[in-house]
Structure 1
Amino acid sequence: MNYTTSIEQKWAQLADAIAYALDIHAAQIRKGSETPYIGHLLGVASLAIKHGGDEEQAMAAVLHDAIEDCGAEQEAIIAHRFGKRVAAIVRGCTDADTTPKLPWQERKGQYIAHLQHADPDILLVSCADKLHNARAILTDLQTHGADVFSRFSAGQAKTLWYYRTLAEIFGRRLPGPLSRDLQSTVRQIEHLAGTTAQEG
């Protein structure tokens, strides 16, 4: 097998992962919008690739919500279809796999603690996920104002706390352009949220 064929086969696995994500997330839409959820998953994969992710990290990026949104059984399915490394990254990006979920503060606190020791594979995909989410919040905040925070069960103050904390952790544990983009986006959200609150 030559090098070119090997590379083609690796990226063909990403196509399979995208097809699987399309299947299991087909009916889902982004919170507070009519945007198909797959757009978020592809956006996270794009960010992971842009910031140096390999094909397995890209597969994990497009599948990063599979366990959380589609059930704990997805971990074994992903491991079987796409490999143990991909499944481990997806598990590392999961903050809940039970129904009902733990209370928001407890769940997010556990995830923040987990990121303090997570390996670089997980940090890359998780940071890409949080950056894509933060950019969506910023865009919606610019368009709709502070009403955007009504979509979140935690409300404005806790949501801002969570993203501020994430930005600090990723800045320390994954220094580079990706975490700097997250930090910059969170600062813009906080500034705009404060300005919006003053105007209201």
Structure 2
Amino acid sequence: MTPRFTQAITLASRAHEGQLRKGTSIPYITHPVVVAGLVAQYGGDEDQQIAALLHDVLEDGGPQYAEPIEAQFGPRVLALVQACTDGVPDAQGQKLPWTERKRAYLAHLKTASDDALLVSGCDKLSNARAILDDLVTIGPAVFDRFTAKLEGAVWYYEALSRLFTERKAPMANALADTLQKIRRLVPPT
């Protein structure tokens, strides 16, 4: 790795400072670090790993981070981050409704570049594994922390899994396996 990777961790840490993983006491920065590790594991290059570190910066930190991302890491990294962003807050800090954002993101992923698909898929794999871990620990109540609750979350991750499988994304089998484990622990809806 080059110093760019360390710079990306610094920028991501600043953008996510004080944020926690939804419904937990886990610092949010741990998630992008895990995603970058998965991107490396599945063959992603340094730009993709950097994009993984920054994949939620625009969404959670705001659109003002676009310029520093491009200035520090170049247009390819910014494009990858933008491709992994399902909604940027408006001036009042509001995003479009959850279902609308997720449907648009699924449509976007159908034609996203393979490079962006890898970063997005590793993000979703990390999230699904965290859900599975919490499901084992606290049970179906884990879904109470999500806007979409159990039914919406299961719908979204199953749609993502189908899409990544159809596009032959490198992490598709791992995501499908994780969802299969989740389905075994989730009561039928």
- The verdict on a shared fold, with TM-score over 0.5 as the criterion, is yes
Taking the aligned partners of 1:26 and 1:72, their CA distance within structure 2 comes to 16
Tell me which residue corresponds to 1:142. 136
For the Cα contact (< 8 Å) 1:124–1:174, is it kept in 2?
no
| Rg larger in structure | 1
Query: 1:72 aligned to 54, 59, 63, which one?
Result: 63
Taking the aligned partners of 2:157 and 2:169, their CA distance within structure 1 comes to 16
Query: 2:184 aligned to 181, 188, 191, which one?
Result: 191
- Consecutive unaligned residues of structure 1, counting only runs of 5 or more, are 1-9
Q: CA RMSD in A?
A: 1.2
Tell me which residue corresponds to 1:173. 167
Deviation at 1:174, TM superposition (A): 3.1
Deviation at 1:175, TM superposition (A): 3.7
Taking the aligned partners of 1:175 and 1:146, their CA distance within structure 2 comes to 29
Pairs within 5 Å for 1:96-115: 96-98=87-89, 99-115=93-109
Taking the aligned partners of 2:152 and 2:180, their CA distance within structure 1 comes to 15
The 4+ residue runs of structure 1 with deviation greater than 6 A are: none
Q: Secondary structure at the match of 1:95?
A: coil
Taking the aligned partners of 2:41 and 2:161, their CA distance within structure 1 comes to 19
For the Cα contact (< 8 Å) 2:55–2:85, is it kept in 1?
yes
Is 2:122 aligned against 1:128? yes
| TM norm structure 2 | 0.95
| TM norm structure 1 | 0.90
For the Cα contact (< 8 Å) 2:117–2:169, is it kept in 1?
no
- Consecutive unaligned residues of structure 2, counting only runs of 5 or more, are none
Give the count of matched residue pairs: 186
Query: In percent, how many aligned pairs have the same letter?
Result: 45
